[in-house]
Copies of this chain bind each other. A is one copy, B any other.
């Protein structure tokens, strides 16, 4: 029975799990927070201790790794982490293969989650899909012909930075009206804050949202915007609908360009409720040509998507499996 070791370097948390090939049940599973002053060395030390704790005296047949940042998947080298210092050009695949003497596969979290959903989640049986995570950022990963499509330079999937409204607000990337600028949790919070700060007393809405943060607008989050919208707050609904519009417009454009069978949506913002999903689906359907068919479905693996994707990429390194 071949044992797979799956690792998730999540930026703020580290997780490791083991599973037998073909099983859908973790044998062992451990998770730790990455310390506030983490760097690549401390993260690697914590992960090493997680691994030895999990493996005890067993030996994996292969290791799969999800990394929360840009990775050169062909060499398994981390380019950098946006959260943790010192990850520049760390040959993570090489380090693991040397230490454990087995093959390893490494990719970024969006590509890995796409692979996880494809092999074990909402994408099972679909040869072409685009996985989108809508959370603190907006990113995506492709499966085409049943295989990951990473792009010529490993940069494919950046739906967060396609422009859907050239007259929209300015994004951190410098452009206006990117999907991420309108649909990510932190930007939804910022959009709500800006409307609340400028709102004339005559305008309806915002009361629920203000109540949720005790009038301290610095405490606003995307999740609170969703909660206020669900409670009927008109201002929160407007912000959430704009997010759903941006995502739906992005998806419709992607459908016209690539015509995948499925879009699989994960991440905290996609838990905003039926109204959000209804707008996403309607705008995507109106944006795509009538002849372009697709489905938009929720991700199934939740927080474990990176670990299950890591299982999938590890399995791909085992010959004749």
Count chain B CB atoms within 10 A of each CB in A154, A165, A258, A294 and give the residue with the most. A258
Residues facing B in A144-166 (CB within 8 A) are: 144-145, 149-159, 161-166
* A292 CB-CB contact with B under 8 Å: yes
Q: Choose the segment among A15-23, A117-125, A221-229, A283-291 that binds chain B (4+ C-beta atoms closer than 8 Å).
A: A283-291
Residues facing B in A60-114 (CB within 8 A) are: 70
- Selected from B142, B144, B150, B289, the residue in CB contact (under 8 A) with A173 is B289
* A128 CB-CB contact with B under 8 Å: yes
- Selected from B140, B257, B293, the residue in CB contact (under 8 A) with A153 is B293
- Selected from B142, B149, B175, B258, the residue in CB contact (under 8 A) with A287 is B175
Query: Chain A, 262-303, contact with B by CB distance < 8 Å: what is the 0/1 string?
Result: 000000000000000000000000110101111000000000
Is there an interface contact between B287 and A155, defined as CB atoms closer than 8 Å?
no
Is there an interface contact between B289 and A258, defined as CB atoms closer than 8 Å?
no
A291 and B257 contact, Cβ closer than 8 Å, known pairs A144-B144, A164-B166 = no
Is there an interface contact between A156 and B257, defined as CB atoms closer than 8 Å?
yes
Q: Which residues of B contact A142 (CB under 8 A)?
A: 258
Alpha-carbon separation in the docked complex, A256 to B256 (Å): 15
A289 and B257 contact, Cβ closer than 8 Å, known pairs A149-B144, A165-B166 = no
